[in-house]
């Protein structure tokens, strides 16, 4: 399933404990529950490893879970918001 493939990809990407993790639309092709589980996993791995997680998404709910949201419009930064 898509969720299992995403979990395997996350495990492979984070196994060597990288300092930087890129996730391009990690929940884009998943149902809401599976997408939330994938984001939980990504955020947990980020917390465990201390890595920086850069996520590209169109999902406002997913973005709301992030510490910082940079919004692009026409190839330029439209906003840059830090969240406590």
Q: For 24-76, what is each residue's pLDDT tens digit?
A: 998 888 888 888 988 999 999 899 989 999 999 999 989 999 999 999 999 99
Question: 15 with 48: CB under 8 angstroms?
Answer: no
DSSP sequence for 17-73? --SEEEEESTTTTS-HHHHHHHHHHHHHHHHHHT-EEEEE-S-HHHHHTSSEEEEEE
Taking the model in full, what pTM does it have?
0.79
CATH at residue 65:
3.40.50.300
pLDDT surpasses 80 at 5: yes
The domain of 68 spans 2-82
Query: What's the number of domains the chain is made of?
Result: 1
Query: What do you get for the CA distance between the two ends of the chain, in Å?
Result: 35
* Rounded Cα distance, 84 and 73, in Å: 24
């Amino acid at each position: 399933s898509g969720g299992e493939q995403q979990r395997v990809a996350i495990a492979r990407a984070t196994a060597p404990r990288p300092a930087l993790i890129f996730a391009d639309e990690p929940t884009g092709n998943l149902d809401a529950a599976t997408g939330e589980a994938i984001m939980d996993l990504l955020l947990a791995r980020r917390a465990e490893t201390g890595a920086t997680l850069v996520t590209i998404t169109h999902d406002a709910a997913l973005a709301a879970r992030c510490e910082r949201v940079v919004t692009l419009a026409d190839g330029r930064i439209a906003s840059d918001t830090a969240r406590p």
